[in-house]
Amino acid sequence: MEKIKLTINGIETEVEQGSTILEAAKSVGVYIPTLCHLNLDGFEICNEVSSCRVCMVEVEGRPALVTACSEKCAPGMVVRTDSARALNGRRTVLELLLSNHPKDCLVCAKNLDCELQFLAKELNINQIHYEGEMMDYPVDTTSRSLIKDPNKCIMCRRCETMCNEVQTVGVLSALNRGFNAVVSPAFNLDMADTSCTFCGQCVAVCPTGALTEKNEVQKVWRQLNTPGKHVIVQVAPAVRVAIGELFGMEPGSISTGKLVAALRRLGFDAVFDTDWAADLTIMEEASELIHRIQHNGVLPLLTSCCPAWVNFIEHQFPDMLDIPSTSKSPQIMFGAMAKSYYASKMGLNVNDICVVSIMPCIAKKAEAARPELSIGDNSNVDIVISTRELGKMLHEAGVDFKRLADEDFDQLMGESTGASVIFGTTGGVIEAAVRTAYEWVTGETLEDVEFTQLRGLEGIRTASVQMGNITLNIGIAHGLGHARELLEGVRSGKYDLHAIEIMACPGGCIGGGGQPYHHGDVEILRKRQEALYQEDRNKHLRMSHQNPMIQKLYEEYLGEPYGELAHDLLHTTYTAKERI
Amino acid sequence: MQKTKFNMEILDSCKLRELDAFIEAEDNPQGRIINILHEAQKLFSYLPQELQLYIARKINMPAAKINGIVSFYSFFSQEPSGKYTISVCMGTACFVKGADAVLQAFRRELQLEEDQKTSADGLFSLRDVRCIGACGLAPVVTINDRIFGHVKEADVKGIIEEYRELAKQEVAEVAQ
């Protein structure tokens, strides 16, 4: 590729043709602030709309300032990012944005986690010189998962890029024009009345408090302080490799033991592991897969752990609802077992049990509210909070997370294998299923449990696994746009697959909409993924069917995997839904 | 199938067939969405939400995107138009000569709420337009194809009454 020479702040440099000023500046250690710009390198996610104008710089010979994020370098270009004109221009732009932004930062959900707030500090804003009309929109609290406050929107369009280009859900778009422009569903519909999957990727990338999760921390506190309530908690795999970030720990720190200790400090009556239920999910899903293969059932079988993905297929592929596994997700299986098996073991009244989930995901909130995921009118799971919300709760309670000594999960629903840990990354669920299916189908001992051909971060991956005389063709997609492409390929016959794993979020649950904000740093996602694989290697048992507490559950309570009682408690149905 | 709240039955099936034919003649309907919306507005006189949703499904494009386009361009209307369209010029010359007061007078006379463009009786639609190139007549108002120059606030009541009378006569003629 041809190289171009240019000068940035007096530093001569050479960059590849087609590089932007922003990229060139970064390569010589010159920082240019950005706001709307978002490039998740390696995940095919890029928002390049140049709408915020915060990255304006001066180019010699050009009459106006240019936006560094979009302006391509040219030979001999002389760029100043720190001239008085550039600094004043950027400050003016930011002041104008702030002039139409609420100043209630102290009580905002994004306080100290807001990119607009960071910028106000970075650009040394100490006064806003502009006054004028402010936006005045109702706040949308209609969904179970997220809150949309258009008054805090700066029209960066990151959410729109996520919803349309990356996830291909197409719920959010800019409506109207000029001062009246607002990002909204069609016809200003309530979020609850749309085809939103609640994947939360709009929340994950929103730089301000315009899109946030629905905070249910107070509900948890209330339950913990209700006499007679037996409040138990489960923690999803991806939480343990991310929560440390909220307490100043390095991304990718494995803090399972601290997490258990922290939850005990909050006063939960028992601290359990969603990983235990993930092992249970594998027992059911692997049985279902083998059953479908041996009985000429519908193939491919699609994993059904990801609730955003389930919402997506119900709205976008209502004609294909016979292919997802009927297995409930691990979070819901946990709840169903807590309110049947655990209740009977402990001699508890089901109505006195409250199941709280800590999830990397905000779609899990909407999932828990699905009416069919209940026994009678008692929901399998009562309250779901995200990794971020748990962080807030721990801060509030003054728990010094970093200095906690490791503790172990409570028994009965706390034991897990390495297979369940990797549920938190793309490719993990199907690898866990393959480990178990391999031993069941061949009757042989699996020596090397790591199926590296299923790993990676490419959006769509396919691989074959030989199991005795069966060759299992496997497909994996993460990100709903990739899921769409894979499903269309299945429908058209391009792909001939036995089993497919789909996760809605980039990287799987490690990149979930309820995780600590990555603020565009994709290295954080890679480190979380590596930490999950490390946690798997740390485990003595690495195949779900080896989990002694799962074996005990089937022996003492459920009977056979994929049997009658398992069907009643651990399987579900899907509903075709009109798209909007 | 779990349905949305939109009742697609309200759309005239003959007109939909015409619209379908127009869309099906396009090689790349998504790229020609503006033209499709123009055609739809020509057929239905405005673009109700159900029609936007119909087009979205027909050409496999998010309804939010289509609604974004419809709400961006002032040429597209999401409300039915009245029999008489009153356009008040808000270009610089007209504005300086008091067009805003004239516009407000029309709003009051037609009892239009904020954001409401068409009067409750369906007779009048009110819109503001940019310069129509008749600055010598400022402030200028057009009603359908007729031009009113040097309009004052006090003239508004009379103008509206004239058109109400006209509408009554037309109804009477049709009845005969």
Q: Which residues on adjacent β-strands are paired with residue A184? A: A173
Mutate to test the interface with A, among B37, B65, B66 (most CBs of A within 10 A): B65
Structural domains for chain A: 3-99 (3.10.20.740), 137-213 (3.30.70.20), 217-570 (3.40.50.1780)
Integer Cα distance of A293 and A287 in angstroms: 10
Q: What is the mean pLDDT of residues A388-410?
A: 98
Question: Per the structure block, which two tokens stand in for A375?
Answer: 């026994």
Residues of chain B in contact with residue A177, where contact means CB-CB under 8 angstroms, are 71-72
Answer for the pair A569, A373: CB distance below 8 angstroms, yes or no. no
pLDDT at B28: 96
B4, A193: Cβ pair inside 8 Å?
yes
Of the candidates A524, A489, A556, A441, the residue with the CA atom closest to the CA atom of residue A249: A524
B66, A186: Cβ pair inside 8 Å?
yes
Render pLDDT for A448-476 as a digit per residue (tens, 0 to 9).
999 999 999 999 999 999 998 889 999 99
CA dihedral A308, A313, A315, A317 (to 10 degrees): 160
Q: What is the mean pLDDT of residues B116-124?
A: 90
In chain A, the residue whose alpha carbon lies closest to the alpha carbon of B48 is A187
Mutate to test the interface with A, among B30, B67, B73, B130 (most CBs of A within 10 A): B67
Answer for the pair B115, B108: CB distance below 8 angstroms, yes or no. no
Spell out the long-range contacts of A520-524 with Cβ–Cβ below 8 A and sequence spacing 24 or more.
A520/A38, A520/A39, A520/A40, A520/A205, A522/A40, A522/A41, A522/A42, A522/A43, A523/A251, A524/A245, A524/A251, A524/A252
State ipTM: 0.91
In chain A, the residue whose alpha carbon lies closest to the alpha carbon of B56 is A580
**Of A364, A379, A389, A415, which residue is the catalytic one?**
A364
Render pLDDT for A336-372 as a digit per residue (tens, 0 to 9).
999 999 999 999 999 999 999 999 999 999 999 999 9
Integer Cα distance of A151 and A183 in angstroms: 10
Q: What is the mean pLDDT of residues A514-531?
A: 96
Torsions phi, psi for A446 (to 5 deg): -80, 115
B68 has a chain A CB within 8 A of its CB: yes
- Among chain A, residues having any CB pair with chain B shorter than 8 Å are 164, 170-177, 184-187, 193, 318, 575-580
pLDDT at A288: 96
Confidence of residue B17 (pLDDT cuts 50, 70, 90): very high
Of the candidates A453, A456, A507, the residue with the CA atom closest to the CA atom of residue A478: A507
Q: Does residue A535 have a pLDDT over 90?
A: yes
Of the candidates A461, A385, A467, the residue with the CA atom closest to the CA atom of residue A425: A461
**Which amino acid, residue A158?**
R
Of the candidates A237, A321, A223, A299, the residue with the CA atom closest to the CA atom of residue A267: A223
Confidence of residue B79 (pLDDT cuts 50, 70, 90): confident
pLDDT at A546: 97
A173, B1: Cβ pair inside 8 Å?
no
pLDDT at B115: 78
B63, A187: Cβ pair inside 8 Å?
yes
Of the candidates A497, A546, A475, A535, the residue with the CA atom closest to the CA atom of residue A283: A546
B68, A173: Cβ pair inside 8 Å?
yes
B64, A171: Cβ pair inside 8 Å?
yes
Active site (annotated) includes residue A206: no
Confidence of residue A278 (pLDDT cuts 50, 70, 90): very high
Render pLDDT for A160-200 as a digit per residue (tens, 0 to 9).
999 999 999 999 999 998 999 999 999 999 999 999 999 99
Q: Does residue A58 have a pLDDT over 90?
A: yes
Of the candidates A513, A550, A529, A561, the residue with the CA atom closest to the CA atom of residue A334: A550
Q: Does residue B5 have a pLDDT over 80?
A: yes
Integer Cα distance of A308 and A320 in angstroms: 16
Tally C-beta pairs within 8 A across A and B: 58
Q: Which residues on adjacent β-strands are paired with residue A357? A: A234, A384
Which of A171, A177, A580 is closest, CB to CB, to B4? Answer: A580
A173, B2: Cβ pair inside 8 Å?
no
Residues of chain A in contact with residue B65, where contact means CB-CB under 8 angstroms, are 164, 170, 173
Integer Cα distance of A396 and A243 in angstroms: 15
Q: Other CB atoms closer than 10 Å to residue A183's CB: what's the count?
A: 24
pLDDT at B80: 87
pLDDT at B175: 81
Active site (annotated) includes residue A305: yes
Which of B2, B56, B64 is closest, CB to CB, to A577? Answer: B2
Q: Does residue A314 have a pLDDT over 80?
A: yes
**Of A14, A250, A372, A488, which residue is the catalytic one?**
A372
Q: Does residue B77 have a pLDDT over 80?
A: yes
pLDDT at A1: 74
Integer Cα distance of A394 and A397 in angstroms: 5
**Of A145, A253, A304, A325, which residue is the catalytic one?**
A325
Distance, in angstroms, between A512 CA and closest chain B CA?
24
Render pLDDT for A206-263 as a digit per residue (tens, 0 to 9).
999 999 999 999 999 999 999 999 999 999 999 999 999 999 999 999 999 999 999 9
Residues of chain B in contact with residue A176, where contact means CB-CB under 8 angstroms, are 71-72
Q: Does residue A94 have a pLDDT over 90?
A: yes
B53, A186: Cβ pair inside 8 Å?
yes
pTM (2 d.p.): 0.92
Mutate to test the interface with A, among B4, B30, B55, B57 (most CBs of A within 10 A): B4
| Mean pLDDT over each residue of chain A, to the nearest integer | 96
Torsions phi, psi for A533 (to 5 deg): -65, -35
pLDDT at A241: 98
pLDDT at A22: 97
Confidence of residue B130 (pLDDT cuts 50, 70, 90): confident
Higher pLDDT, B131 or A522: A522
pLDDT at B81: 84
B66 has a chain A CB within 8 A of its CB: yes
Distance, in angstroms, between A432 CA and closest chain B CA?
34
Asked if the bond preceding A548 is cis, omega within 30° of 0, the reply is no
Integer Cα distance of A341 and A348 in angstroms: 10
Q: What is the mean pLDDT of residues A487-503?
A: 96
- The percent helix, strand, coil of chain B (3-state, each to 5) is 50, 10, 35
Q: Does residue B176 have a pLDDT over 80?
A: no
pLDDT at B114: 81
